[in-house]
Amino acid sequence: MKSNKTVRKLFIVGEAVVLMMGVVLTWIWKSLPPQIPWFYSLPSGEQQLTSKVVLAGIVGGAAVLLIIIRGVAKWAAKEDVPVEITVMTGGVVAVMLLAAGFVRVIQIVIGL
């Protein structure tokens, strides 16, 4: 089955988001404190903090998630293009939500 242009564009958008997250993290890595807030659902204080290495894991996890979603979209398509587009759209939205949380943490830490 030939790849759908819409799905390819969605994958490229997802790749661009992950790449931007990686570039931002690389750019500000030295200015990040050793502990950053990430777990907002926990009570305030040290329970919310995690190592800055977790941000690198989040960027890597987003890349892996995007690749897995691409595979699932191809598998689920079975000659049904709308299913492939829907699955890929959901994956890209998930990566964008992860990126939004990432950007918010960076804004808090940097003080923007």
pLDDT of residue 27: 93
| Closest-CA residue to 34 (of 21, 17, 46) | 46
Q: What is the dihedral of CA 20, 58, 103, 40, to 10 degrees?
A: 170
The tally of domains found in the chain comes to 1
| Closest-CA residue to 11 (of 102, 87, 98) | 87
pTM above threshold 0.75: yes
Place of tokens 């964008």: 96
What would the two tokens of residue 43 be?
């009570």
Q: Is 39 left (phi over 0), alpha (psi -120 to 50) or beta?
A: beta
pLDDT band at 49 (very low <50, low <70, confident <90, very high): confident
Domain that holds residue 65: 5-110
pLDDT of residue 53: 92
